[in-house]
Structures are given as structure tokens and as C-alpha cells.
Structure 1
């Protein structure tokens, strides 16, 4: 295909580019077209901000050019690119004054061509293509024209994306203003009352006349039930009996009939009156919530669009303990709770043992100040599985300027947080393991440079070098495998435990005894990569047993909701530090794993809503790795069983 054909292909890539995910996917496709046309294996889009370069999207493989990587602009090939209006083309970076030595040392690219990208007349960053080797011929005019076209198309797509974001924000503001100015009834007055043990009014405050239209004296010495609508009488009598028995009642909503025959909803809080150690009656307060209930019904009628939104949306009454008055289907999908079972409750029911209290306090401070807030909380779904919840809260005011409600948006950001954690994990493990292994190689090299002595065993030195090199290669392969699984789409399906065990033990060495028992007729709802996880555990069990006659035991059991797969060995057992790191879901300077294999297992299992852990065998002779994943019957659809990803701890 000639140059014009590639330009037409680029035009086609960006035709009708839309939202965030769409623009990112098109940029990646365009980078692929560019590498093919220019004959350069590496393509990347950068963003320049405050003297720093960030890699936004890439194609091709280069250790220092990956999405999310940052470096000072002075150490980047793009430093001169953003200073120019035209394309910067470098045939040989070592021989070019346009690329400084720091950039060459940092990235080691021989050939480079890049162009500046502007968005709304401001420098956004660059789009570049490169190779580690030099280029035999200079870049031609058609290649520079191609790159300038690509830069303009990317800039236009980014401008459209920014415009769409602005429209979305403007729409959200309009929705908030709409809710802000919706009519909300005047605040009601509270009714204070007392009842004797027979349920007769002995005192009613003057507010009853404003709420129900009756003078207080008309209610004195009458049964409270006689003023209720028939459908509320049973609930009221049951609550009264509980209060007489010494139990407080809160938030009981009852329908009274006012002087005009209309129904009035009153929220009642009541407590027992205690005299001489016994209960002599009931006292309480009633608040007219008829207007609020009508507003809630009206709000539901007017929020059909919110009902259909994919993002979780909830609304809480600003009065009292911020009870939920609305939750859409998106909220149900994110949390696993039915709206009917959580209305009237404060959203703190989503919190759990690992929820960060500082983030909760930040949200609470914003609520206390009547200000908007945005935090990321570790919350728990209805099935107790943890997930990362991005919570955005906005106060809503009525026409009089009074705070009436809080509008909340909940977005499951577990996948992003898992990816961030994976990046931190890979960085830490690679730094730790590479540093240790390189120190071994440096030590052997220093020893060899100093000269061999008669006591030196050349064969042993060679074995040390080979073992260390193999560890380095293995760590690198595991890192690539982890990254590959992180990029792959989830594919939940029904897996057969027996087939998984067969595949995981297919290549065990001779002399290893394998005992596999499947004690369930149901399958496992997970992705096909679960086979890789089990194979890793079996290989780990074999590798870490130095004694002859290694024995590996595999078992699948079913507790009704989960299938548990265990891999046991009779080796030296799991290191306490490694078990602690897997349980905690993170590595620290003091708690870390020796490799990435167990993290690969953890990543795969938790990606399908399961859990993973390792413990010492009860008899102390070896260890047991345990995987728990959702069970699935043969006739049950996968969509009915599959779980969302959970965070990286048990």
C-alpha cells in the first residue's frame, strides 16, 4: 500500500471518534498503522505537563515506553519535538544534536520521528515512532506529512473528547440545578405526645392542630388508634406493644386522617415512660413527613433517566442519619443490594473491616460542611466481596436555599485499582529480585576478575551463574504473563474441576506422586486462565520439595456456594513472609514474596470474585494452597453466577 493508502486508513481510523475508551482504542490502532507505514516497531502517544512526560498509549515493546511511565522532559526525545511546529525526524540519535545524551542513555533509541500535538491551541504532547536501531536512510517528506496528519487527527479527537466531557459535566450541573429548584414542601412542626398503658392520649402538643387540624384537647383521653387510617393500625399497635415492653421505636411511618379526611403520613419515634422501675406509658414525637413522601414519589417519577443509568446513583435525605430515599439499578449492580432492602438506611452498611477510616472521615467532613466530595472507598457488596467504590457526593438545596438531599454517584473502580496495585507489585518485585540476582552475578564476576585459586570450583561458579540467569529469565517471563492477563478481557465460563486437575498435573516429573479427588458434581465459574493458576501451584509444590518421593494432593470440595480447590504438598512448607504478603494483598519493604508466581495465582482467582491463600498443613509437613471460586450447575447460566473482580486480598 502506498503513502496515500496509509493516509486514507488513518482518516478511517478517526472517522467519528467518540468518548474516552473510543479515542484510546483509535489512537492505539493509529499507532499500529504508523509503525507499519514507517517501518518503525515502536509507536507512542505522550502527554507533556509541568516539565514531565507521561506515556499515554503505546504499540510495540520497549522497557521504558509503556503506558503510565513518566520521566522528566529533559530526559525525553520529545523535548525538542514540543518546541517545533514541524516534525522532528532523527535518523541517528547518537549523531543528532536534536536529542540530548540523557535521553539516549535513558531510552537507547536510534531512529526517531515525532510531532507535537495541540488541543485547543495548547500543547498536549507528542505522537512519536522509533526504533532502537538507527535508520539507514533519512525520513522522507511523505513520511513527515503522514506524521503531521496523524498528529492533527489525534489532536482533533482529543479536542472532541474534551468537548464531550464538558458537555457531560454541563449536563450533570443542569441536573443538579433541576433538582435544586424542584419544589420541596415547607418544614413540618413536630407533635409531642404521651400515652398511658392503654394507648390513650394523656398529652398532645399544640402542633397537632397545624398537622392534623384537630385542637389538642380533642385527642386527650382518646385511643391513638382511632385517629389512624385503617392500614396503619396493625403496625401502630404492634409498635406500641413493643414500646410498653421497654423497646424504643424509631422512624415508624403511620398514616393519620386529618380533619378534612385526608391522609397525613407521620414519622414517629417513641420511648417507654418508666416509673418505679416499670413502664407506665409511652412518650414520643411525630413529624409530618407527608410532603417528604410526596416529594420522594415525585422524585422517582422524574428520575427515570437515573434509573436507567449504568453508574450507581443514590439519593439520601439530608435530615437525620442521611437515610437513602432512592437507589437506581446501577447502584444495585455495583453493590449487589436490592434497592428495597436498603432504602431508609445510611450508606455506611457498605463499609467493612478494611475500609479506610480516613476516607470515611473525609466524606463525613464534607457532609457536615454541606460541600461536595469525591473519595475512593473499599466497600463490600451484598455477598461480602470487597470492591473499590469511587463515591462522588453532591449536596442538593431547595428553593429556599436549605439543604434537603445528597446525590451520590457510585462507580466500581476495582479493575483500575487492581491494575494500579499490579503495577506497584511488579515494580517492587522486579526491583527486589533483579537487584538480588544481579548482586550474585556481580559477586561471581568480581571473584573471576580477581583470579581463580586452587580451592575454586569452576563448575560450581558456572552453576551459580546459570541458576541466577534462569531466575532472572523466569521472573521476567512471569512479569510478562501477569501483564498479559491484566490486559486480557475476562471470560467467565463453566470449568470442570477434574479436567483442570488433569491439565495442571499433566507434566509433573517422574517420581512425583499425584493424588487428585473431586468431591463435587458442579463446575467452577471462572476464566480458562485458572488452569495456569493451578499449574503454577502444582509446579511450586514440586519445585520446593527437596526430598525424594514428592507427593502432591489435589482436592475439590463444594460448600453449596463455592467450590474450593486445594493443592497440598509434603515439602518444607510456605514461608511465613510469603503467606503474609498474599493474605494482605500487597508487598512492603518487610513483607514480600520471592517471585511472581503466587501473585499470578492471586490475580487470576480474585479477577473472578474468588479468594486465594496458603497455610501450613495441620501436621506441619508441607503447605496447602486454597482457591475458592463460585460453584455453577450444568443448567445454570454463567451470567447468573459470575462474580465481579474483588480486591487483591482474601
Structure 2
């Protein structure tokens, strides 16, 4: 240690104060101690003095000042040296009562310069070490006050033996419920209990043995036996390169763990729900998506705007609904259709305050099947009512003819009966088609079946040719074309053929073809007869009927719904006749 400088807490050189009556001795000593900041004093000791040197002439009048200076400097040492002429032993006998209270050492003069320098250096080293010790003690006291006032638990243990506790703050006692006397000298494992995780115990034990820092969450027990979750961090304290102690910091996180368990339970519930659930910020950015949402909207939707999932028109409608829900702080709903798979979802926007911030919880429910069923019921209602009304009007009209003119000629009676029979047959055909279709299986929820459409066509067309011997039928098929087909695929092919015959006549030219396009397989039935009316094509292609746009029969609707049930598509084209195409997923 450099005794010629102050400690790190002070500025400037070491200050030596001289109190001398002998001007000659003062001058000689000042020259000898020129490396220090040498000052003179006549009464009280100047501030920032590190060492006082007085001669025997000045000692009598400065003794009280020295005593006061030494007392005021406590606990830091304030060394004072008495320089006097004579034998040192005699001097100690003469001034012995002042040693410790006014002076710390006596130097007889004359003496070699080296002896005086050594004595001064020793006293200054004592001063320096005392100041460092005081600083360290002040720091420890500060740390102690800080630890005692901390809300978290703090303990200090020895690093040897069974790691006994040598210090505990009030926070630790408050958390655990123990008294200080019950903690000191013990290993902290007394906080563990029957449900404390064994793996966590092992982790702590190995960290202590390795003299390493460790952080764990451990189930501990209070003195009352009540369990609590303890966030424990242990830090080794090193002195001279060796770990001498461990400091442990404890935080009671029972409430946080309880919230985490509740949150985890809620997350499991949310993740188990089949409906997509999103959490949006007020700007519409997706902050959270459950597994169902990730499957529907894509895995990378988090941190993206929800509007990117929809086309421009629907995105505008979505944001209008979102802003309305936030502005009115109430739930609002909006039906939107995903551009890719055309599935319709009912989005429910619920404003909430989560962790102090406004958020919107969005629950999307797939109502595609509901809307399809509604459309199908509407179609069935219109078609059946339209056909029933028309056919029953025919029946009623011709029945009236027979009733009103019972004596009509045989030709009139026969014509009326034939028309009544034809109308009845038409109604029976509709009923039979619905029955036959419904007996197969439900439309939606089908997994489909792997079928070779090329083989199916080659097997079915000859049977249809027997039914309609006057038709000119051509088939165009590859060697094989595997596709995912609805359970009613034979029904569909029969009805497409029947529809072509009904439209173009029994002597028409019909082409049944299968085209394998790798990802889809197309089944086409083309006839060169009268083109399907535009009104009927519009109804079939849009998937719904209106009072002005409707079809004459039910068969093609049943075909369309069967194909859509396995993810296929139905299309009608009018060019050189009529072509009905079923696009089915490749098998």
C-alpha cells in the first residue's frame, strides 16, 4: 500500500500536521517529510489531517486538541507522534499516561533520519488501514440495513460443513414464519417437505458442491406447515479466490404460481377448443392464436394484421366491426369467408382489458356447413314447391277435365289420363332420387372413397346404353384415374346421364370423359342437345335459388352437394351443347 497517498475515498497527498515550539526542529522535520503535505497548527488539529507530530514544548498546550481529534476520528485511527529530547525509556515513563489518549508513539531525538521516517511511515500505514477498515465496516452496515429492510428473504450461510446460516434478514423470517434463533446455525433444508421436488433438491445440492450460482423455483414449507413456492437464487461469495459464504435470496411466488396454473389451465382449454381463437390489439394485429387458429389461418399469423387473411372488401368490413366493438365496448359479430377454401366463419369480437391494455378476443366458428344446409333447404324448398305446384296444377287441370266432362270423347280422356300419369311419374322420380341419394350416406363429413373413375365410367356406361339404346354414347378415359369420390358417385353419374338425355333427347350424342390433372380428376358429361338455360346454370353455379333463378329438377343439386361433400367442385359450361364437370381430389 502506498502510504504517501490518501485512500481512494480522499483526494490529495497525505497530510501531516506539525505542532512545534522549536522552530529549528520544525524546519528540519518539514524537510525530512517533504514528500507529504506538511502543515503547521497552533491550536485545534486541521481537517483532513492524517498524522500529528508535536514536540515536548507544544505538547502541554496541544494535548487536549490531540485528545479531541482522536476521539472525533473514531472508529478511524488518528495517530499522533511526540518528538522529545532525551532517553526514550525515560520519555515513555514521563508521558506514558498520554499514550493512547493524546499520542500513540514517542520518538527521542536526535535520531537517525531513517528511524524517524520508519516511525512516521508505520503510523501512516496504521491510519490508512484503519480508514479502509472503517469504509468496509460502513459498507457492511449499509448492506446490513439494506438487507434488513428488503421485502425479499436474504440469508448468508457458511460455505463449509453443512452450510449453516450465519445471517438472516427480517424478510426471510416474515416469509417462513420462523424466529431468528430457530434459523441461525441450521441448514436451510428444514424448509423442504414431502412434496418438494427431488430433482430440484439435487440441483441445489450439486450447485453448492460445485460452488456455482443457481436459481430454482422450489416448493418450501412455512413453520405453520403451509406450503409456498419459493423463487430461490444462491450466489457464492469469494474472498481471496476462495468461496467463503453463500448468499440466498428468497421470493414468495405462490400467488404468481397460482396465476400461472390458472393461465396454463385456461391455455389448455383454449388450445383444446376446435374454434379458432385470436387476441388482437386495437389496431387489428394478431398477438395470440390458438392451435385451431393456426391450422385455419396459417402458423405464421402471430404479429401480422388480421386483415391480411381476407380480400380487400372483407378486410374493410372486419375493421369496421372491430372498431365498432371497441368504440361501444360491446360484442359484435361478422360473417366472413376465407378466400382460399371458401369456408364461411362467424367472427365474434369481444373487447377486453388484459393486463391493463385494451385487447379484442376473436372467436371464429366455422358455419360453412350450416350455411350450406340452409342453402340446400332453401333449394329443396323452392324446387319441390315449384315442381309440386306445377305437376299438381297439371294433375288438377286434367282431373277437372275428366270431372267436368265425364262424357268426353275417349281421346280426351286418354290424353288427360296420360298427362296425369306423367306428372305423377315425375313427382315419383323426384321422391325416388331424394330417397336413393339419402340412403347412401350424409353429404357432409364424408372422408370419401378411393375409386378409379376411368374404370367406373367403363363399367357404368354400357348399363346406361342399355337403358337408352337410341343414344350415341362415347367414352374417353385414361387407363386409370384414381380420385376421392363421394359415396354416391354411381348415383351422380347416372343422374348426369339422365339429365343429358332429358335435355337432348334419347337419340342425342353424349360423351363421357375422364381427365387426370395430377391434383384433380375431372369427370365430364357432354351432350350436343339443347343448351341448359342460363337461369338454371346461374342457380347451379351460385349454389342458391331465387324466385327468378331456379332449376326444373332436384337431381343436379344432389350431384353438386355430393361432390362438395368430399372437397370437390361442380361446374356447368354451355358451348356446343352442355357440359357438366365434376372435379374431384386426386387419390
After TM superposition, the score normalised by the length of structure 2 is: 0.50
CA apart distance, 1:434: 0.5
Cα deviation, 1:549-586, whole Å, max 9, x if unaligned, reads x2221222233322222111122121211101001110
Name 2:381's counterpart in structure 1.
Answer: 427
CA apart distance, 1:609: 1.4
Could you say if the C-alpha distance between residues 507 and 455 of structure 1 is closer, same or farther in structure 2, counting changes exceeding 3 Å? closer
CA apart distance, 1:435: 0.7
Q: Does 1:450 align with 2:408?
A: no
Q: Does 1:389 align with 2:345?
A: yes
CA distance in 1, matches of 2:548, 2:426: 21
Secondary structure, in 3 states, of the residue corresponding to 2:360?
Answer: strand
Q: Does 1:613 align with 2:577?
A: no
Match of 2:338 among 366, 379, 382: 379
Alignment of 1:198-213 (within 5 A): none
Secondary structure, in 3 states, of the residue corresponding to 1:609?
Answer: coil
Name 1:589's counterpart in structure 2.
Answer: 547
CA apart distance, 1:375: 3.4
Name 1:303's counterpart in structure 2.
Answer: 267
Cα deviation, 1:306-325, whole Å, max 9, x if unaligned, reads 3343221222222x3x1112
Name 1:325's counterpart in structure 2.
Answer: 287
Q: Structure 2: 5+ residue runs without aligned partners? A: 1-261
Secondary structure, in 3 states, of the residue corresponding to 1:339?
Answer: coil
CA distance in 2, matches of 1:566, 1:586: 22
Secondary structure, in 3 states, of the residue corresponding to 2:424?
Answer: helix
Could you say if the C-alpha distance between residues 541 and 352 of structure 1 is closer, same or farther in structure 2, counting changes exceeding 3 Å? farther
Aligned length: 321
Secondary structure, in 3 states, of the residue corresponding to 1:371?
Answer: coil
Alignment of 1:52-201 (within 5 A): none
Name 1:577's counterpart in structure 2.
Answer: 535
Q: Does 1:468 align with 2:432?
A: no
Name 2:230's counterpart in structure 1.
Answer: none
Secondary structure, in 3 states, of the residue corresponding to 2:496?
Answer: helix
Match of 1:512 among 465, 468, 471: 471
CA apart distance, 1:332: 3.2
Q: Structure 1: 5+ residue runs without aligned partners? A: 1-297, 633-650
Name 2:391's counterpart in structure 1.
Answer: 437
Name 1:565's counterpart in structure 2.
Answer: 523
Could you say if the C-alpha distance between residues 317 and 473 of structure 1 is closer, same or farther in structure 2, counting changes exceeding 3 Å? same
CA distance in 2, matches of 1:480, 1:356: 43
Considering only CA atoms, is the larger Rg found in Structure 1 or Structure 2? 2
CA distance in 2, matches of 1:338, 1:412: 16
Secondary structure, in 3 states, of the residue corresponding to 1:515?
Answer: strand
CA apart distance, 1:392: 2.0
Could you say if the C-alpha distance between residues 446 and 573 of structure 1 is closer, same or farther in structure 2, counting changes exceeding 3 Å? same
Could you say if the C-alpha distance between residues 474 and 355 of structure 1 is closer, same or farther in structure 2, counting changes exceeding 3 Å? farther
Root-mean-square deviation (Å): 3.0
Name 1:265's counterpart in structure 2.
Answer: none
- C-alpha contact (below 8 Å) 2:277/2:363 kept by paired residues: yes
Name 1:527's counterpart in structure 2.
Answer: 486
CA distance in 2, matches of 1:480, 1:574: 25
CA apart distance, 1:411: 2.2
Alignment of 1:478-489 (within 5 A): 478-481=433-436, 483-484=438-439, 485-486=441-442
Secondary structure, in 3 states, of the residue corresponding to 1:603?
Answer: helix
Could you say if the C-alpha distance between residues 368 and 416 of structure 1 is closer, same or farther in structure 2, counting changes exceeding 3 Å? same
CA apart distance, 1:459: 2.5
CA apart distance, 1:303: 3.3
Match of 1:601 among 537, 544, 559: 559
- C-alpha contact (below 8 Å) 1:577/1:592 kept by paired residues: yes
- C-alpha contact (below 8 Å) 2:569/2:582 kept by paired residues: yes
CA distance in 2, matches of 1:374, 1:315: 15
Q: Does 1:339 align with 2:339?
A: no
CA distance in 2, matches of 1:360, 1:483: 42
After TM superposition, the score normalised by the length of structure 1 is: 0.45
Could you say if the C-alpha distance between residues 522 and 441 of structure 1 is closer, same or farther in structure 2, counting changes exceeding 3 Å? closer
- C-alpha contact (below 8 Å) 1:374/1:392 kept by paired residues: yes
CA apart distance, 1:624: 0.3
Could you say if the C-alpha distance between residues 305 and 489 of structure 1 is closer, same or farther in structure 2, counting changes exceeding 3 Å? closer
Q: Does 1:314 align with 2:278?
A: yes
Match of 2:500 among 526, 534, 541: 541
- C-alpha contact (below 8 Å) 2:325/2:350 kept by paired residues: no
CA apart distance, 1:630: 1.3
